[in-house]
């Protein structure tokens, strides 16, 4: 039996992962701001605002007191911010970083001492296709997910000696409430110049796409279970055909651009001076 610690467990991916884990016979420490999650012998529902470090430590301690360990940490809590980078206010930017980045760090720091002690564990950091490619209109949100990806890569190397694995989960557009006002903030300071540009048009796309996304959330939750139970889980786990297509396109674009600018890129080494003067 694995013991899961899931943030944002009251809805969306968090609720579905909780359901899948319990169905598999695992135990779940299900956390949310308002943890109305149901009742189950293997379920401990705990109130947690991920921006509150003391509360994160209390939730982790309560989970270990109940189940004895934490095997899987799913850092799922987060929300989106839609609008051009210039349109976002300092307050909006600080608020989304407080949840998507600093909140993830606070929960991770609260759980890691237990995982290090048991010399095992698996951390799932939820990113997005927006953490691999920056879409217009999603710049600030994407920057939080780029931060999650960078942190996760470093943590994977840092935690490997302790038997702790790290996986970056990269969902594309899934049919959850992510594009609804419960999970998505929209910068109210709309600048007229952006109307008709990709950033401006993204506002309309998000409204039209809500609940028409191609991804099936239940299949993602089942896929998470398959991945967690694998012998060698990946560092990055993309979900959704749209995510796979964008990763392939982004990789090809980077490779193409590098081939054009490769000589200038490598010309800055000291060794190039010696070669040029020979």
Backbone angles phi, psi at 132, to 5 degrees: -115, -25
- Cα–Cα separations (whole angstroms), residue 214 to 49, 142, 201, 220: 30, 20, 20, 12
145 is catalytic: yes
Cβ atoms of residues 218 and 13 within 8 Å: no
Which member of 127, 128, 142, 152 is catalytic?
127
For residue 194, the number of C-alpha atoms closer than 13 Å in the C-beta half-sphere is: 20
Which strand (E) or helix (H) includes residue 199? helix 198-209
Q: How many CB atoms lie within 10 A of CB 175?
A: 16
Say how far apart CA 253 and CA 145 lie, in whole Å: 20
Which member of 10, 114, 128, 141 is catalytic?
141
Which member of 145, 152, 187, 194 is catalytic?
145
114 is catalytic: no
Catalytic machinery residues? 127, 141, 145
């Amino acid at each position: 039996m694995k013991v899961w610690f899931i943030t944002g467990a009251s809805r969306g991916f968090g609720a579905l992962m909780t359901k899948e884990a319990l169905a598999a016979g695992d135990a779940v420490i299900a956390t949310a701001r308002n943890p109305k999650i149901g009742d189950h012998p293997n379920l401990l529902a705990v109130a947690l605002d991920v921006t509150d470090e003391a509360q994160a430590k209390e939730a982790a301690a309560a989970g270990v007191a109940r189940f004895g360990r934490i095997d899987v940490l799913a850092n799922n809590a987060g929300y989106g911010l839609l609008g051009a980078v210039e349109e976002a206010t300092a307050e909006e930017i600080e608020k989304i970083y407080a949840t998507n980045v600093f909140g993830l760090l606070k929960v991770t720091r609260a759980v890691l001492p237990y995982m290090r002690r048991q010399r095992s564990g698996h951390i799932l950091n939820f990113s997005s296709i927006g953490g691999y490619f920056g879409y217009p209109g999603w710049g600030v949100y994407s920057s939080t997910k780029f931060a999650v990806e960078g942190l996760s890569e470093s943590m994977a190397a840092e935690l490997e000696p302790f038997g702790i694995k790290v996986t970056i989960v990269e969902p594309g557009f899934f049919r959850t409430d992510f594009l609804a006002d419960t999970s998505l903030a929209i910068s109210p300071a709309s600048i007229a110049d952006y109307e008709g540009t990709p950033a401006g048009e993204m506002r309309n796309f998000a409204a039209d796409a809500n609940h028409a996304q191609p991804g099936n959330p239940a299949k993602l939750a089942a896929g998470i279970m398959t991945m967690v139970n694998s012998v060698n889980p990946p560092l990055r786990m993309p979900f959704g055909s749209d995510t796979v297509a964008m990763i392939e396109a982004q990789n090809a674009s980077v490779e193409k651009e590098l081939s054009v600018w490769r000589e200038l890129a490598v010309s800055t080494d000291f060794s190039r001076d010696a070669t040029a003067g020979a």
